[in-house]
């Protein structure tokens, strides 16, 4: 990916914040979605938003077209800037596109005590297998940030079996070393801005989950949590079967499993991502031969804006989407 940030948008923080808030996400009107509710194997549910109106003329033709499945980032959804930009890309290529929401991220609290986490490869597995069973054409998947780590954790976990489910996978701005990313977001400017932003939505969701399932975790300790390390130690780790934050970050990180990936995979990480330290990124010796690394100097965290102010965010979906579709031919 030969990305170069515009001169008017310097630095990793600005390249992260501006695209998410102000850059254009689509060439014309925002994408229109059609929602499906899927029951989960454990009697819960997730919501899947399908891009509406971009499919070929007949249902039979649509079934033969490639399908791009997206797994969003922490507290993301089909309304996130990167999801809308990918939907616009899919519409321009005439292919199917769907955003699989992690539990509790579609605007409605899920039923069960669990939520979602960065290494949730079992959840990725059943979701992708359901897409594969329902769609006749090629299926590819892209994960963004948290969703990218979870997707690559799945690809490494299942190894050669992944090729029977999807033709290729890609991650964008994924914190593949969760400890490195977790500590980075807990310091300085990141702690003041990004940590506060995430906790502003994660804490109320967790408190609603506690009201739904009394005694699930220490409510008073959660109210005192000041960063993601503390939040994960109180909620994410114990609720999802990990001993503590360190155990969660270690076992959920995709980086140690990248050598086991056995299908075409693309990892995109900007070297100035404020969430993901450049030193923590995988190199060629850390990945399997089927894995391609794109590590441009700029782009921030899921930013990659281009053009004159206010800019647009179509560059990343165009590059990543075309790479994924190329693997289906």
Which residues are marked as active site? Answer: 145, 273, 301
CA distance 199 to 260: 34
Ranges of H-type helices in the chain? 12-21, 59-64, 81-93, 121-134, 146-158, 178-185, 188-190, 196-212, 219-224, 228-231, 237-239, 245-252, 315-326
Asked if 255 and 176 touch (Cβ cutoff 8 Å), the reply is: yes
Helix axes 146-158, 121-134, angle to 10 degrees: 80
Token pair listed for 269:
């990480």
- The dihedral built from the CA positions of residue 271, 70, 40 and 121, taken in this order, carries a sign that is negative
CA distance 113 to 68: 29
Ranges of H-type helices in 73-186? 81-93, 121-134, 146-158, 178-185
267 vs 116, 180, 187, 290, CA distance in Å?
A: 22, 17, 25, 11
């Amino acid at each position: 990916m030969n990305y170069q940030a515009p001169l008017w948008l310097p630095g990793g923080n600005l390249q992260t914040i501006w695209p998410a808030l102000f850059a254009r996400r689509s060439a014309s009107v925002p994408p229109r979605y059609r929602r499906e509710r899927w029951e989960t194997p454990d009697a819960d549910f997730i919501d899947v938003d399908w891009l509406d109106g971009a499919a070929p003329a007949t249902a039979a033709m649509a079934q033969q077209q490639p399908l791009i499945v997206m797994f969003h980032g922490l507290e993301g959804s089909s309304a996130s800037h990167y999801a809308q930009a990918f939907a616009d890309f899919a519409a321009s290529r005439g292919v199917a596109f769907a955003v699989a929401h992690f539990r509790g991220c579609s605007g409605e609290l899920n039923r069960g005590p669990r939520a979602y986490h960065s290494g949730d490869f079992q959840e990725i597995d059943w979701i992708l297998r359901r897409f594969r069973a329902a769609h006749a054409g090629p299926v590819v998947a892209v994960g963004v940030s948290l969703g990218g780590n979870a997707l690559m954790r799945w690809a490494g976990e299942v190894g050669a079996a992944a090729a029977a489910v999807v033709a290729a996978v890609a991650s964008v701005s994924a914190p593949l070393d969760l400890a490195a990313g977790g500590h980075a977001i807990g310091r300085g400017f990141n702690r003041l801005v990004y940590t506060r932003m995430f906790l502003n939505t994660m804490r109320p969701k967790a408190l609603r989950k506690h009201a739904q399932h009394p005694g699930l975790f220490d409510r008073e300790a959660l109210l005192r949590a000041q960063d993601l390390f503390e939040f994960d130690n109180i909620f994410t780790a114990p609720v999802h079967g990990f001993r503590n934050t360190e155990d969660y970050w270690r076992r959920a990180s995709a980086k140690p499993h990248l050598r086991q990936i056995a299908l075409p995979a693309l990892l995109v990480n900007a070297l100035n991502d404020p969430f993901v330290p450049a030193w923590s990124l995988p190199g060629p010796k850390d990945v399997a031969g089927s894995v391609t690394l794109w590590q441009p100097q700029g782009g921030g965290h899921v930013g990659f804006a281009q053009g004159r102010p206010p800019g647009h965010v179509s560059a990343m979906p165009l590059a990543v989407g075309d790479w994924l579709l190329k693997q289906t031919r």
